[in-house]
Copies of this chain bind each other. A is one copy, B any other.
Amino acid sequence: MDDDSMGLNKELDGMTVVSLEQAVAAPYCGLMLADAGARVIKVERPEGDFARGYDAGANGQSAIFAWLNRGKESICLNLKDPEDLAVMHRMLAKADVFVSNLAPGSVARMGLGGAELRRDNPGLITCMISGYGQSGAAAKKKAYDFLIQAESGLCSVTGSAESPARVGLSLTDLSTGLTAFSAILRALIQRGRTGRGIDLEISMFDVLADWMNMPLLAHRYMGGAPARSGLKHSFIAPYGAFECRDGAQVLISVQSNREFAALCRQVLQRPELPEDPRFSENPERYAHRDALDAIVADCFAQFTAAEMVDKLDAAQIANAQLNSVADLSDHPFLRNSVVQIGDCDVSLAALPVTSHAGPGQKVPNLGAQTEALRAEFKA
């Protein structure tokens, strides 16, 4: 391995992040800051981040909490107690980044607003994460991941024709946490030029609204948002899941005449089909999709899913298996990472950006570093 092929390696080494965080969005941001080499101090209420109680799968502790909080230090502070608030102030006086996803305004009410803190610490970057924004009517609206999926219209374009559905992962929280992480990196780069920190505000609604631009623009400029169609596509055929001999389903998505010809010749063994006027171009294929789907279904039903994937790969037809979560867990491409919470090892999907150091494997017990941090940041 030459020097050029070295990857990321503690590029935020020496940076301190204080994160007054709970649940998912801010903790996920903090996790990536830790992965980048920053020291991340997680400030918890005396009773702890309620995400510690999301599940008890890791010998009584939460496996989900372990995923989101490995590599951090934990300090318990009661910020209504003036002495604890003073500890918080002393940590922030030396911090590079202050992240929070408490309710809008609550950080400022404790005297922890960015402008105030920068009087002593001009390089401090603050990042406040909220549901709908930090001011006005929006600031008062409570928010959870699922509710913002509904409010943003996402549920209306997800699911079957009959019933809208939520997305089965915490899309809003994770996209917001990653957006906040990127914004903090931008502010750190800017501080390298100006020497000054800034305030960042990230709203979950804004993040999801940007991600909704495809259906939004379809509504505004293309005659309407796409209809919900389960696993089917609203204007491409063949497209969707087909059942194989072993009951497993394989998906295809045929996006060009070249791919369709290869499918007919190499997979369906029906080289004449592209000449059939019903199937010559995608609009014709879509109009006659019932007939076409029947031909595809007949063929797929004769092979196991593994055989069919091999055939499709050989013909260079994009395909996927309709995997369960158990299938994901055993997937040959899955990169696992093992972390420790309490005395329990938790094997989870690794972060997608590879770094040499990684975020560390230890998940802090509640307040594990309280005494050490109190001593380090004493008056």
A residues near B, CB below 8 A?
A: 2-9, 11-12, 32, 36, 55, 57-58, 63-64, 67, 114-115, 118, 122, 132-133, 137-138, 140-144, 146-148, 150-160, 162-171, 174-176, 178-179, 181-183, 185-190, 192-193, 196-203, 205-207, 209-222, 225-226, 228, 230-231, 233, 241, 251, 253, 255, 313, 316-329, 331-335, 346-355
A320 to B201 Cα, complex, angstroms: 22
**Dominant SS at the A interface?**
mixed
**A43 shortest CB reach to chain B, Å:** 22
Contact B217 A348 (CB under 8 A): yes
| Complex contacts, A211 vs chain B, CB 8 Å | 169-171, 174
**Sampled A-B contacts (28; CB under 8 Å):** A3-B196, A11-B190, A11-B193, A55-B217, A55-B222, A63-B217, A63-B220, A67-B214, A142-B317, A151-B321, A153-B328, A155-B231, A158-B159, A159-B165, A160-B162, A160-B165, A169-B211, A176-B352, A182-B182, A185-B185, A192-B192, A206-B350, A207-B352, A210-B350, A220-B329, A220-B347, A225-B324, A225-B325
Given A217-B348, A318-B143, A350-B210, A198-B160 contact (CB < 8 Å): no
Contact B210 A352 (CB under 8 A): yes
Across the two chains, which residue of chain B brings its CB closest to A56?
A: B222
| Complex contacts, A221 vs chain B, CB 8 Å | 55, 57-58, 63, 346
Given A153-B325, A328-B152, A333-B133 contact (CB < 8 Å): yes
Contact A156 B322 (CB under 8 A): yes
| Complex contacts, A6 vs chain B, CB 8 Å | 196, 198
Contact B159 A230 (CB under 8 A): yes
| Complex contacts, A320 vs chain B, CB 8 Å | 143, 147-148, 150-151
**A361 shortest CB reach to chain B, Å:** 15
**A206 shortest CB reach to chain B, Å:** 4
> 9 shortest A-B CB distances, which residue pairs?
A157-B168, A57-B221, A225-B325, A11-B190, A147-B320, A153-B328, A142-B318, A206-B352, A185-B185
Contact B67 A213 (CB under 8 A): yes
* Number of copies of this kind of chain in the complex: 2
Contact B156 A216 (CB under 8 A): no
Most B-side CB within 10 Å, residue of A164, A216, A324, A352:
A352
Contact A160 B157 (CB under 8 A): no
Contact A226 B168 (CB under 8 A): yes
**A351 shortest CB reach to chain B, Å:** 6
Contact B198 A150 (CB under 8 A): no
| Complex contacts, A253 vs chain B, CB 8 Å | 144, 146-147
| Complex contacts, A185 vs chain B, CB 8 Å | 182, 185-186, 189
Contact B213 A348 (CB under 8 A): yes
Contact B219 A326 (CB under 8 A): yes
Contact B158 A334 (CB under 8 A): no
| Complex contacts, A349 vs chain B, CB 8 Å | 206, 209-210, 212-213, 216
A179 to B353 Cα, complex, angstroms: 8
A243 to B331 Cα, complex, angstroms: 41
Across the two chains, which residue of chain B brings its CB closest to A250?
A: B150
Given A4-B114, A230-B165, A153-B327 contact (CB < 8 Å): yes
Choose one: B187, B219, B226, B231; the contact of A8 (CB below 8 Å). B187
A63 to B175 Cα, complex, angstroms: 23
A143 to B319 Cα, complex, angstroms: 7
Contact B353 A198 (CB under 8 A): no
Across the two chains, which residue of chain B brings its CB closest to A225?
A: B325
**A56 shortest CB reach to chain B, Å:** 8
